[in-house]
């Protein structure tokens, strides 16, 4: 029994030492994890509580504005045999990018109509540009306008070329419109309509 007592005491001391060692390790691990979590960036819930940026709000498609502008312009410049230019339509997107030569990344939304008549050139097209991109859209539409009137070799298209040369391009804020008068339409009435069509 006397021999057993020192063995039991040694064992209890060893066990007590192991327990302290484990608690120290666990406390150091806890402090390490605390320091790691403190250095991590704010959580997504905290980030989402910040107000939405102005550019995000400005880049929501305002289709009602676009449609009302197109309607006002087509009231004075009807497009014969119209092909829709609508951002919901894949064919329109191809035409806008490759025919009107617009950079799609500059656009939020667009609406309009272009004639399918070979002898006409009527166009009503209104773009909602991304924040800070209206000037780029206007420049690209100007290049498109210039390309239409660059080739005046064919006498049978003289009226069409004259209408294209006088095309109107108007910018108001993030909205840009181009209007080419249909044969028989009057640019005076178009100019009057453009004064208010983009005022939203």
59-82 residue pLDDT tens: 899 999 999 999 999 999 999 999
pTM (2 decimals)? 0.70
Q: Half-sphere exposure (CA, 13 Å, Cβ side) for 171? A: 15
In this prediction, residue 139 carries a pLDDT of 98
- Residue 11 is predicted with a pLDDT of 46
What pLDDT, on the 0 to 100 scale, is given for residue 90? 85
pLDDT of residue 163: 87
Quick check: 180 and 191 in contact, CB under 8 A?
no
d(CA 43, CA 30): 20
DSSP string covering 35-58: HHHHHSPPPHHHHHTSPPPHHHHH
In this prediction, residue 8 carries a pLDDT of 53
Share of residues in the chain with pLDDT > 70 (%): 68
DSSP class of residue 182 equals P
Residue 1 predicted with pLDDT over 80: no
Note the Cα 76 to chain centre separation in Å.
30
């Amino acid at each position: 029994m006397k021999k057993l007592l020192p063995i039991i005491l040694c064992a209890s001391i060893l066990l007590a030492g192991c327990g302290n060692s484990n608690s120290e390790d666990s406390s150091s691990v806890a402090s390490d994890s605390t320091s790691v979590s403190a250095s991590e960036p704010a959580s997504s819930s905290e980030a989402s509580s910040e107000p939405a940026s102005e550019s995000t709000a400005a880049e929501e498609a305002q289709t009602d504005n676009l449609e009302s502008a197109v309607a006002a312009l087509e009231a004075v410049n009807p497009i014969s045999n119209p092909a829709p230019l609508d951002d919901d339509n894949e064919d329109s997107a191809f035409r806008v990018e490759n025919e009107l030569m617009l950079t799609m990344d500059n656009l939020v939304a667009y609406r309009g109509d272009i004639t399918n008549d070979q002898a006409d050139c009527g166009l009503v097209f209104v773009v909602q540009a991304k924040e800070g991109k209206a000037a780029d859209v206007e420049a690209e539409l100007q290049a498109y306008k210039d390309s239409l009137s660059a080739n005046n070799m064919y006498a049978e298209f003289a009226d069409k070329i004259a209408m294209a040369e006088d095309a109107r391009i108007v910018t108001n804020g993030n909205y840009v419109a181009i209007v080419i008068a249909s044969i028989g339409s009057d640019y005076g009435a178009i100019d009057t309509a453009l004064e208010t069509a983009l005022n939203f």
